Amino acid sequence: QSKKEGRNRYCWFDPAMEVEARLRREMESAIRKGLENGEFSPHYEQQIDLETGKLVGFEMLARWNSPEMGTVSPEIFIPVAESCGLIGPLSQSLIASALRDAQSWDPSLTLSVNISSMQLRDPWFPQKLLKLLLSSDFPAARLDVEISESCLHENLTAVQTMIVSLKNIGVRVSLDDFGTGFASLAQLRTLPFDRVKIDRSFVGELRRVAEAASDGTGADDQQEHIVNTLVSLGRGLQIPVTAEGIEDTSILDTLRTMGEMKGQGYLYGKPEDAAAVLKRLTELDMLAERAAPINDDEQ
Ligand code: C2E
Ligand code: MG
Ligand code: MG
Ligand code: MG
């Protein structure tokens, strides 16, 4: 009995916890250093109008190219940056780079950025964003701010106020990871989102639906119903829909039976850096018009 209590008392010094805490501190200082050394860069994933197949914009996804660890996923470093208070500076520097990159894109193209729950709680965030927009001379209407559904379990009134403030500076606001979180119908109705993005965990399942249909087993179409329901939910609320995680044409074909929407996913390409985007846009003839060519001036 007393032996057991003794052990419990010492669980404060659990070596696994010590190691975890140390790793965390190390990663924190690596993030701080990486931020100074420009190791973080925006990558871009294409967004397509599924009806026309045309490129309509890009979603910026953060990448960390660490000299020690190689390419680190945002799923790892964003939570650490949040917990050590670096998410603000990190995100602002990434958004600033993205706005600069997007200046060379055709003005029809939009830019989507993800923000974290901590930024959502910063009452100055819309002001900071506006400052970035003004200093890069990027029209607010071309910027789309994505808020994950997982943020909606927090103070809903605060989230609502934030969405309204963001819309007041002229940007659009999308609900990301739709279907995975806690949003109730009632909440969705009160939150003025401009778009919902159906999470790729549902969209990806559509491939199995297509496979089942083609091998004649007529397997269950539950997954298709789920995606259809999420699409209809958006439609019912009169909010446009984006499907993410489109990995092959069978998924695309199924989605296209569900009506008008935008989409993105590996079918169109993996997220790529600014230079690769420029190359793509050159091929598509979708670069921003620069100053008039020299011969024009001479004539
Ligand atoms: P998200 O915003 O839902 O982004 C979608 C994720 O799915 C991205 O992962 C993207 O690369 C991946 N993806 C896109 N299409 C496909 C597909 O067809 N198949 C598969 N298997 N995956 C696909 P990534 O880039 O690792 O980003 C993960 C999450 O990290 C993002 O989820 C977003 O919530 C967060 N994140 C990324 N950049 C930032 C940032 O700058 N700030 C904040 N706060 N969060 C960020
Ligand atoms: Mg997103
Ligand atoms: Mg998403
Ligand atoms: Mg997601």
Q: Lowest-pLDDT range, 37-46, 210-219, 254-263?
A: 210-219
The DSSP string of 243-254 is EE---SHHHHHH
**222-249 b/e with 16+ CB inside 10 Å = b?**
ebbebbbebbebbbeeebbbbbbbbbee
Instruction: Give the pLDDT mean for 51-74.
Output: 96
Q: Which ligand is nearest to the CA of 144?
A: 2
Among residues 234, 220, 222, 228, which one has the least CA distance to residue 183?
234
Question: Is the C-beta atom of 268 inside 6 A of ligand 1?
Answer: no
pLDDT tens across 148-168, in order? 999 998 788 899 999 999 999
Write down the pLDDT at residue 213.
Answer: 67
Give SS3 for 169.
coil
Confidence of residue 294 (pLDDT cuts 50, 70, 90): low
pLDDT tens across 202-240, in order? 999 888 766 766 666 555 578 889 999 999 999 989 999
Write down the pLDDT at residue 121.
Answer: 92
Q: Mutate which of 114, 120, 173 to test ligand 1's pocket (most atoms within 8 Å of Cβ)?
A: 114
Write down the pLDDT at residue 54.
Answer: 98
pLDDT tens across 126-145, in order? 999 999 999 999 999 999 99
Closest residue by CA, ligand 1 atom 20: 245
Instruction: Compute the Cα dihedral for 143, 148, 151, 157 and give only its sign.
Output: positive
CA–CA distance, 169 with 87 (Å, rounded to integer): 21
Instruction: Give the pLDDT mean for 276-293.
Output: 86
Write down the pLDDT at residue 43.
Answer: 98
What does each C-alpha distance from 271 to 57, 124, 192 come to in angstroms? Answer: 12, 30, 28
Among residues 280, 251, 293, which one has the least CA distance to residue 109?
280
Residue 7 predicted with pLDDT over 80? no
Instruction: Give the pLDDT mean for 233-256.
Output: 95
Q: Which ligand is nearest to the CA of 77?
A: 1
Query: Which atom of ligand 1 lies closest to the CA of 94?
Result: 41
Q: What is the mean pLDDT of the chain?
A: 90
What does each C-alpha distance from 177 to 28, 120, 157, 230, 240 come to in angstroms? Answer: 27, 16, 20, 11, 14
Write down the pLDDT at residue 297.
Answer: 47
Q: Which residues contact 116 (CB under 8 A, 6 or more apart)?
A: 78, 82, 87, 91
Instruction: Give the pLDDT mean for 62-76.
Output: 95
CA–CA distance, 264 with 197 (Å, rounded to integer): 10
Instruction: Compute the Cα dihedral for 14, 18, 23, 29 and give only its sign.
Output: positive
Assembly ipTM: 0.97
Q: Which residue has the higher pLDDT, 274 or 9?
A: 274
Question: Is the C-beta atom of 63 inside 6 A of ligand 1?
Answer: no
